[in-house]
Chains A and B, each alone.
Chain A
Amino acid sequence: MVGFVIVSHSRLLAESVADFTRLMAERVTVIPAGGLEDGSFGTSYQLISDAIEEANSGDGVLVLMDMGSAVMTTEMVLESMENHKVKMVDCPLVEGAVAGTIAAAGGQSLELIYRNLTKSGYVNKF
């Protein structure tokens, strides 16, 4: 099953998003990587890197980020890994996490979930 990593500047925000996905996709692995090691705001290369390892069961990992350095730091982690089964997704963080984990729970592949999530930013809320 595809795993997920939630990267945010805020530890609480990342944990909450991960927690929120359990409501509908309890079996999916979602690892938060929020804030710095000491819990303060920021993005940590090490936490992101560890979270990706932890989330990967063999079927790949999708990484969702909030903004700015979360995106750039994730990009650098992925460059050093060169693992094609780990992708960062450009999508809204909360909607993407919910939609993605439900799809993963239904057994969808990394590529299919990735493709659908990249389009999720264009769906109007109302």
Chain B
Amino acid sequence: MNKEKIILVIDQMAVAMEKQKEFLTELDNVIGDGDHGINMARGFSEVIKKRDSLAKMDAGDMIKNLGMILVSTVGGASGPLYGTAFMKAGMFLKGKEDITFPDFLEAFQCAIDGVMARGKAAEGEKTMLDSMLPAKRAMEQEWTISGDGKKSMEAGLTAARKGMEDTKKIIATKGRAAYLGERSIGHQDPGATSFVFLLEAIASQM
């Protein structure tokens, strides 16, 4: 994926966050503080304001800077979490003008490690990691079998959507949802959901 495509991915991410703003906020109203959709939409609209300067950077710096914008503008837990994810991925991709699928997989792992460290979270705690980790595993598996980036991304998306659905069965132990205990069962995690939308934006340009 070249830089021009990455900019289009960022555009798509912003469009998706704006479009899903109400839905994400609705999800977050039930088990969180009801700001996830608004926060993500605000963050990405700030990203779009800096689109021209981002477009001049190499792929790594572009993604890293996107993360820094999210940290300073999102205003909720998703700011430091997604911010760290993009910053770590961007640091890994530093200096690259073009991103291959194996590059993407490694950058994705850096993003996951960043989220785990920042949120002190693991899989199965009803967080964004519950769609990120299954996606990563499915992509790796498909890539090993077929070596086809598009197919691997499709496999990742399917796994991410399943992971997102499955967060309904999990009792939250992280974030403000943890205070709800068993009452968090039956509700889909907003972070796992927004990650699916971001991944869809990446897939749309492959």
Contact = CB atoms under 8 A, between A and B. Distances in A.
Interface stretch (B10-18, B73-81, B94-102, B160-168): B73-81
Tell me the dominant secondary structure on chain B's binding face. helix
B61 interface: no
Interface residues of A, number: 16
Interface string A74-105: 01100000000000000000000000000000
Interface residues of B, number: 18
B172 to A, nearest CB: 12
Contacts of A73: 71, 79-80
B149 interface: no
A72 B119 CA distance: 7
B83 A42 contact: no
Given A42-B39, A76-B83, A68 B77 contact: yes
A36 interface: yes
A109 to B, nearest CB: 29
A21 interface: no
Nearest to B70: A45
Interface in A26-54: 36, 40-46
A10 to B, nearest CB: 11
B103 interface: no
Interface string B157-196: 0000000000000000001100000000000000000000
A69 B118 contact: no
B84 interface: yes
B176 A68 contact: yes
Nearest to A45: B72
A-B pairs with lowest CB-CB distance, top 3: A42-B75, A72-B80, A69-B77
A103 to B, nearest CB: 28
Nearest to B80: A72
Contact of B79 (A9, A40, A69): A69
A27 B77 CA distance: 33
Contacts of B83: 76
